[in-house]
């Protein structure tokens, strides 16, 4: 199984579509849980990012890698049990912060929360601080999830937190941040309750308040 996991990571990082989807199918057929498949995909996408950093991959590669990843997610979403579960009656407003258009991690997070009975309000990408505030007012969520992939968008996180506080809503919601540019330090500096390393980490954090 380790070999197929490695095949998946290698195929995704080199944008080999059939190699990636074959590996996913083999893993699922062997009963590997979707969460482990997602974790391997994450690593593969991270490696693709490293290739991009090293000048060995280019924007079209990132885009193609993103398309392969979305295809894999569609397969995972169709698995039995991946849909809405018994509602836990809690809502999360989710979005990728302003000026950032990466949505794969956010979409996985939405899928994971939905699959565990949360009501998910997905605001999409490039979400302005004002849109977050409006969504909190409209949906009265218990949780807000910010996705942050670009270090240049750190300021968007700060401005979003400021806008939520200025609207008098900070005490009403628990807030977490995730994505490649997020960290414990970002969370701490922005006054965010939790840094979620993965979607599952975010879910487990939210679940403690949801029993
Ligand atoms: C695919 C990709 C793209 C695609 C995105 C396609 C899409 N539909 O999303 C495209 C081509 C659009 C793109 C564009 C750019 N990209 Co890009 N991209 C990537 C890449 C390779 C993979 C991202 C990804 O999808 N990973 C897989 C997912 C599953 O992982 P994830 O997002 O981290 O999510 C997981 C967790 O973090 C967590 N999570 C994420 N969000 C949240 C939120 C909450 C609430 C919770 C609980 C959890 C959670 O859950 C997920 C599952 O566990 C990364 C490399 C990397 N290391 O991330 C670079 C990367 C993020 N991109 C980068 C760059 C520079 C860019 C561009 C600026 C390039 C350019 N010069 O134009 C543009 C910016 C566009 C913009 N304004 O946003 C850099 C950022 C560097 C930096 N320091 O900021 C990276 C790190 C690559 C690199 N190493 O240089 N990119």
104 lines ligand 1 (CB under 6 A): yes
Domain, as residue range, for 134: 91-207
pLDDT in 10s for each residue of the chain, 211 residues? 889 999 999 999 999 999 999 999 999 999 999 889 988 998 999 899 899 999 999 999 998 999 999 899 889 888 876 655 666 689 999 999 999 999 999 998 998 898 788 999 999 999 999 999 999 999 999 999 999 999 999 999 999 999 999 999 999 999 999 999 999 999 999 999 999 999 989 999 999 986 5
3-state secondary structure of 167: coil
103 lines ligand 1 (CB under 6 A): yes
Residues 24 and 120 in one domain: no
**What is the whole-number distance in angstroms between the Cα of residue 14 and the centre of ligand 1?**
16
180 lines ligand 1 (CB under 6 A): yes
Taking CA atoms only, the protein residue closest to ligand 1 atom 91 is 62
Taking CA atoms only, the protein residue closest to ligand 1 atom 66 is 150
- CATH code of the domain covering residue 47: 1.10.1240.10
- The last residue of a domain, from among 15, 48, 77: 77
Burial class (CB in 10 A: 0-12, 13-18, 19+), 72: buried
Report if residue 82 sits inside a domain: no
């Amino acid at each position: 199984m380790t070999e197929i996991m490695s095949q998946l990571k290698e195929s995704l990082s080199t944008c080999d579509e059939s190699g990636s989807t074959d590996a996913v199918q083999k893993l699922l057929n062997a009963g590997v849980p979707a969460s482990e498949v997602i974790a391997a995909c994450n690593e593969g996408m991270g490696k693709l990012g490293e290739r991009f950093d090293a000048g060995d991959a280019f924007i079209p590669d990132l885009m193609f890698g993103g398309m392969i990843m979305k295809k894999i997610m569609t397969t995972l979403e169709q698995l039995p049990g991946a849909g809405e579960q018994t509602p836990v009656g809690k809502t999360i407003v989710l979005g990728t912060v302003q000026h950032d258009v990466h949505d794969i991690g956010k979409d996985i997070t939405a899928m994971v929360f939905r699959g565990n009975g949360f009501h998910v309000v997905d605001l999409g990408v490039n979400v302005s601080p004002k849109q977050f505030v409006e969504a909190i007012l409209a949906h009265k969520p218990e949780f807000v999830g910010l996705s942050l992939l670009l270090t240049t968008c750190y300021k968007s996180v700060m401005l979003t937190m400021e806008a939520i506080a200025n609207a008098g809503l900070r005490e009403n919601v628990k807030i977490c941040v995730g994505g490649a540019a997020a960290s414990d330090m970002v969370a701490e500096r922005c006054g965010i309750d939790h840094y979620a390393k993965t979607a599952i980490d975010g879910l487990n954090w939210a679940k403690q308040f949801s029993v």
